[in-house]
Every structure is written in C-alpha cells, then in structure tokens.
Structure 1
C-alpha cells in the first residue's frame, strides 16, 4: 500500500475565533430583532446560531481527525470531518425550511419595523461574518468540513447584506413586506448551497467513486504498464479530503516473484498518483486465478 500524506493543515484556532465572534453577533441580533420587530433580523440571528453550532461541530471534528489510528480505530477519526460536513449541510436546509414557514406567515401579517436598529445590526453582522468567512476561506478550499462552516458564514454575511438593503428600503419607503421577501430569498439560497454540500458529503460517506475519477480511463493507464494483464475488482473512494484510496485485484501477465511484483507495484503507484491523485493503493496480486475479471464486482 502506498502512502502520501502531504496535505493542507487546517488552522483550528480560526474556527475558535469564529465561534466567539458568532456568539456575540447572535446575541446582538436576537436582542435587535425583538426590539425592532424584524423577522429578517431574527432569521439572520437564527442562522448565526446555526453557525455557532456548525463551527463548534466542525472544530470538534477537526480535532478528532488528528487522532492517530489504533487497533480499535484503524483509520483513526479521519472521517469525522465528512460527518460534520453532512450534518452542517442538513442544518442549512432545516433552517431554510423554518425561515420559509415564518416568512410566508409574516407576508399575510406585515408588521411595522424599527428600521434604524435593523440597519445597524445588519452592518454588525456583515462585519463579523465577513471577518469569520475570510479567516476560513483558505482552509475551505482544501477541506469539506471547513467548507461547510465557511458556507454557513458566507451565506450569513450575504443574508446580513440583504437585511441591510431591506432596512434602508423600510426606512425610506416604509415597505415592510420587503422584510419577509428578503427572508424568503435568504432561505431559498440556503437550500441551494446546502443541497450541493449535502450531495458532496453524502457521496463521500457512501464511498462512491469520486466524480473526477474515470474508472475506464484509470484501467487503460494501468494496462499500459508492462507485466499487467487485468486490473479488476476495483474500488476507489475518499477516506477524507486528503486521502484517495484504491483497492483492486491485479492479474499479472506472468507468474512473477514477489520482488518483481514490488517493482510492478511501484510503477502502478507512480501512475495512479500522478494521473489520478490516488495516494493510498492496496493491490491483491493474482496469476490466472479463476474469478470474475469485471472492473466492478459486488463483494
């Protein structure tokens, strides 16, 4: 089995700082929403509270993922971050459904809103969520767990922008239904980004073949290596963001010695890492074994 552990290290301290910032903004927006009567501000606070839970869950998963493997946990807790991303994506959708329900109710019962408080609270939300999102942006490009937390923060920042626009319109034109309309728009956007993240994390948890891996192309490349007859019984999956695994049976073209197979395996490892970024390989060598030689076999 080959091992290539070079990957981007996630900064847990950025998550901790974001947790503190979002607790502050959540409390402030709840108070501001109650005093002003703004549903959009309260919905923004609710989303911020989900951000706090998301960030805490992401931080715990990040810490767990660093634990070493043991006899009881042979992979360690490396898939903890996938579970965090999966749960975080569901919370995005759940919050969105609640906001749709509240917005539809408020449409039929519009209420006067203290727009000045809404404006100042939304500005506070933009600043704090903007800072938090910027701190996680770099890590989000390399880690699905941090990406789920980043999406929470970024969408909340955009929600605060929407609330700010609504507050200004309410102040200038007294159009109070805009509060509900913005809440609905925020909710629909949350469903859009939440579904995409849910689909991605589910595929990883279900050990589906990564979308950028073409099994047939992979087999063609391996079959060009001298000494290879047939690669079959193939499984390719993400253990986490950084580790892409392949296990397969390899029917050798000749009855070679183990030392010769080691050389053949090194050639395969080089091809699979360079062309497909697969950094963990487990190959079962065979010679004229009577079994199915299909690429994919139900074990």
Structure 2
C-alpha cells in the first residue's frame, strides 16, 4: 500500500497568505466603510485559526508513542478535521442567514475597493488551494483546511461578481444570491466531512470493510476454526487496525500459532489494507463466538 507523505510546509504558506488577505480586508473595510469587507475579514481570520489548528494537529500526529501515549497523537488530525468541518457547517448556516437577510435589506457600498480586494482574495486563496490540493486527497485534516480555502476563493469570486454588478448595473441582490449558493455548497461538503470524521473518531467500521468477507477469507486458512469478537477501526487515515479472537482448529504450539498468525496478517494486509493486527489465540474456550460481541 503506497503511503502518501503529507507535508506541513504548504500549510504555513497558506496561513501567511490568509493573514495578508485579512489585513488587507480590514484596512479596505475601514477606508471604504464596507461592513461586508470587515465581515469577510473576520471570516478569513477564522480560517487562519482553522489552518493553525490543522498545522498543529499535523505536527502533533508525528510525535512518537510513549508510555503515557501508546498511540502517540496520531488521532489529533481527525480531531482537527472534526473541528474544522463543524466550523464549515456553522459558517454555512451563518452565511445563509446573512444572504437571506440582505435580500430584504441590501447593503449599499462603494464597489471599487471591494472589486480590487476580491481579486486579491481570489489570487491568494487560489494559490493556497493549489498548495493543498494534492494533500487533500490523502488526508482528512488537510481536506478540511483545503475546503476552508476553496470556500474563501469562491466567496471572493462572489464578492467580485457582486461588486461588478453593483458598479455597472446596480444589481445589489446578486451578492446575496452568490453567497447563498456558496453556503449551500459549503453545507453539503462540510456535512460530508463532519460525518466522515465523526465515524472515524467513534471507531466505526470503515465503509469499505466487509466483516463477513474478512471472516470468509480468514476461514480459508488451514488451522483456523473461527474468527470472532472482531473490531476494525481507523486509528488515523493511514492506519487501519483489527483485533479479534481466533479459535484454532487444533491444540497447537506457540510456534505453530505464530506461523498461523503471520498468514492471517498477510492476508488481511494484502486483501483489506489492514496494517495493524492483534489476535487473541483460543482453543475450545467457552465464550461468545459471534463475529461482533459487545464488550
């Protein structure tokens, strides 16, 4: 299984670019008197915080295991993905509220400075999106950061379209419409990411794993009587764990069981991508033999 090496350098660059956008929008908002720009500056500042959370989680996840942290802090990126996806959903609801409100209470501003600052936002956020695009396909934490930035870029496009429409056609409702469409998109992708990160944090069986298929394949190995009491979960996106009881068909020695377990581990890795296996050996033990047993 190929392991994609996710780097944190691109996150640092994205953080710096978003700080630049935030400062520019605060200055522009104060000069133009645009409440919309100041609100967007606050939005970008929240994204800086989200990116910092992603970066810290990325660094923490690389810490080595210890006596007090036997898994290290590998799940920190899942926590960051959960927090960031939750903020995406909250932000989508807030943007929807603002967009609907402005349909009835249009905000009239000087559009010139808004247009130029929206172009700056498109360029800077677009560059940040490109920086994180590759890592987003391999890491849930990076994907949450990527979606924040992609949404910012789309919001800047909406601001640009709204600014042009206000300047040349006095169509002030366009900004609200674009914002509402972006909010709907954000709600869809944010909810999906939130659902996925929640399942991982709650140790749900990964969707691509079929417990019954695992059992069928393991039972084909000579010496296996029954695999049961099974748990399969993601430690993080790179590590898939399985623990189970393995009832042997014969009363074998430890050496023989070691050879048997190596076969089981090889099968689970090659066919299911499970890279950490913990098996408890049994022979005629009186305990529940169901595939899934409540501990």
Q: Please say whether Structure 1 and Structure 2 have the same fold, judged by a TM-score greater than 0.5.
A: yes
Equivalent residue, structure 2, for 1:208: 204
Greater CA drift, 154-163 or 249-258: 154-163
Determine whether 1:141 maps to 2:137.
yes
Instruction: Map Cα deviations across residues 57-108 of structure 1 (whole Å, 9 max, x no partner).
Output: 0111011111111111111111110000000011111222222222232222
Determine whether 1:179 maps to 2:161.
no
Instruction: Map Cα deviations across residues 127-182 of structure 1 (whole Å, 9 max, x no partner).
Output: 11111111111111111111110111112112212222222222221101222222
Gaps of 5+ in 2: none
Give the distance between the partners of 2:154 and 2:130, measured in 1 at CA.
Answer: 13
Q: Contact between 2:161 and 2:175, CA under 8 Å: does it hold in 1?
A: no
Determine whether 1:93 maps to 2:119.
no
1:19 maps to which of 15, 18, 22: 15
Q: Contact between 1:41 and 1:122, CA under 8 Å: does it hold in 2?
A: no
Q: Match of 1:136, SS?
A: helix
Greater CA drift, 276-285 or 175-184: 175-184
Q: Contact between 1:30 and 1:42, CA under 8 Å: does it hold in 2?
A: yes
Q: Match of 2:228, SS?
A: strand
- 1:1-299 equivalent positions in 2, closer than 5 A: 7-36=3-32, 41-299=37-295
Q: CA RMSD in A?
A: 1.7
Give the TM-score normalised by the residue count of structure 2: 0.95
Give the TM-score normalised by the residue count of structure 1: 0.94
Larger RCO: 1 or 2 (CA < 8 Å, sep 6+):
1
Structure 1 residues 209 and 82: CA distance shift in structure 2, 3 A: same
Count of aligned pairs: 295
Gaps of 5+ in 1: none
Q: Match of 2:103, SS?
A: helix
Give the distance between the partners of 1:93 and 1:27, measured in 2 at CA.
Answer: 25
Q: Contact between 1:39 and 1:180, CA under 8 Å: does it hold in 2?
A: no
How many angstroms does 1:30 deviate by? 3.3
